[in-house]
Structure 1
Amino acid sequence: MVFIVPFIAVIVGYLIAVLLQPKNKKHLKLLMAFSGSFLLTLTVTHLLPDVYSYGIEDQAHQHLADAHGHGHAHNGNTTIGFFIMIGIVFQIVLEYFSKGAEHGHVHAHDKLDKIPWLLFISLCIHALFEGMPVSQHHELAWGIAIHHLPIAVILTAFFINGEMNKKSILFFMLVFAAMTPLGTLISGEITFLTHYYAEISAIVVGILFHISSTIIFESNEDHKFNINKLVAIILGVIAAYFI
């Protein structure tokens, strides 16, 4: 299920864009606000405490090493916080190449004759990292799926409006859909990734912090009070509570 849900979400988003061709951007923005708050709530209530608990365990191991003559102590919480900041900065760098596609900021003004490779690679790296903590936190699969569904709709519409080749669009979306399950698979199978689970998960926390907070704050135009957006955010928090 943890492999299927994120994959199916992207495919559903692709089909919605191709078959229904939604024109009302307000509905997509509300769905984005819901997905942002849902994902952020799962991150702070499930993934973040787990990552810090690993940091505390590492600190205990460090103290044992110090007792045997290592002589230089590191605070586990400080280390985890550092990796979270790496994740935030890393996501900012990715968005430089993806133009903010992770939170729905893509606009086609010119014809796209081929796949925009920088956007493609950036999004795939983003989705791959998102899937890594899912091997330990299955509930995150739902958060990522809800996050990816409107992104898939917006991306597909972007490619269609850019008159990109239909086969290229399908190829892009299938690969993008496969990246999160692939991240989940390799994080549970590759020893190196398992050994550095806390550090990698902390990076993902930073990525999710940046993405979800950006979605929440930017899903409203002109920063005006919007009751519909507020309701969507509250519903996202409530839904995540029951996961």
Structure 2
Amino acid sequence: MNYILLFLAVVTGYIVARILQKKDLKNMEVFMAFSGAFLLSITVFELLPHVFETPSKSIGVYIMLGILLQIFLEFFSKGAEHGHIHLHSENKHFPWILFLSISIHAFMEGFPISEHNNLLAAIIIHKVPVAIILSFFFISAGYKQSTTLFFLFFFALMTPLGSYISTHYDLVHQYETQITAVVIGIFLHVSTTILFESSKNHKFNLSKMTAVIVAIVIAYFI
């Protein structure tokens, strides 16, 4: 069921993108702020205590590696993981670099998902707006529908695949803490970037601040 829900998050994003107009994307900023705050809260409340059950400086090293990995991936994904993407409309070739970078990100997301945490909900809430923005810009840039669907289909498979591998392969279990620490670094970078970008020019926005507070409270009590 978890795999299906993760896949459907991207499908939902594509369907919504087909319905939305460009002006409607501005309303996504509040949802993005909520998703960023919720992902950050789940990371802080659940994943961080898990990896630091046995405190070790090396865990901090893996977290920093995750942050650096996400920074590296964003050189190629153009920030698609946190809702920003710029495609060149004159280039209709399949965007392999974008596909590979965002697929690696999505693949890594799946590893820490388990029945012992609420990360599944956080990733679904994170994936829907990202899928909406990805889909919308693919459509707006004039890519063929087959190209868009191919991209989104395999992108949708990556997180369930990561979750499946983490669950069924003993080798991954041996390095569970280290892998989770790397993913924590990825989540910390992505979620804080979403929150930073949701408050452009450092202007106070009551609706976004409310969304952030609500996300934190929900993440704490679930």
Per the shorter chain, which TM-score range? Answer: over 0.9
Return the TM-score normalized by structure 2.
0.95
* Alignment-derived partner of residue 13 in structure 1: 13
**Contact 1:131/1:184 (8 A) holds in 2:** yes
Give the residue type in structure 1 aligned to 2:81.
Answer: E
1:214 aligns with 2:206: no
**CA deviation string 1:63-111 (max 9, x = no partner):** xxxxxxxxxxxxx520111100000000000001101110111134523
1:140 aligns with 2:115: no
**CA deviation string 1:20-65 (max 9, x = no partner):** 3452233111110000000000001011101111xx1xxxxxxxxx
* Alignment-derived partner of residue 168 in structure 2: 189
Give 3-state SS (helix, strand or coil) of 1:24's partner: helix
Percent identity at matched positions? 48
Give the residue type in structure 2 aligned to 1:152.
Answer: A
The 10-residue stretch of structure 1 (102-111 or 3-12) with the greater mean CA deviation from structure 2: 102-111
**Contact 2:78/2:86 (8 A) holds in 1:** no
- The 5-angstrom pairing of residues 50-65 of structure 1 reads 50-53=50-53, 56=54
**Contact 1:47/1:137 (8 A) holds in 2:** no
1:160 aligns with 2:135: no
- CA distance in 2: counterparts of 1:146 and 1:21, whole angstroms: 21
* Alignment-derived partner of residue 175 in structure 1: 154
Give the residue type in structure 2 aligned to 1:27.
Answer: N
* Alignment-derived partner of residue 32 in structure 1: 32
Give the residue type in structure 1 aligned to 2:195.
Answer: I
- CA distance in 1: counterparts of 2:188 and 2:160, whole angstroms: 20
Return the TM-score normalized by structure 1.
0.87
**Contact 1:3/1:181 (8 A) holds in 2:** yes
Residues 242 and 111 of structure 1, relative CA distance in 2, 3 Å threshold: farther
**Contact 2:63/2:181 (8 A) holds in 1:** yes
Higher Rg: 1
Residues 154 and 203 of structure 1, relative CA distance in 2, 3 Å threshold: same
* Alignment-derived partner of residue 106 in structure 2: 127
1:95 aligns with 2:61: no
1:238 aligns with 2:217: yes
* Alignment-derived partner of residue 202 in structure 1: 181
* Alignment-derived partner of residue 63 in structure 2: 84
Residues 112 and 18 of structure 1, relative CA distance in 2, 3 Å threshold: farther
1:110 to 77, 89, 105: 89
**CA deviation string 1:132-188 (max 9, x = no partner):** 000364511110010010000000011011100101101111111111111000011
Using the TM superposition, give the Cα deviation of residue 195 of structure 1 relative to its aligned residue in structure 2, in angstroms: 0.5
| Matched residue count | 222
**Contact 1:14/1:152 (8 A) holds in 2:** yes
- CA distance in 2: counterparts of 1:174 and 1:46, whole angstroms: 30
**Contact 1:5/1:145 (8 A) holds in 2:** yes
Gaps of 5+ in 2: none
Give the residue type in structure 2 aligned to 1:200.
Answer: I
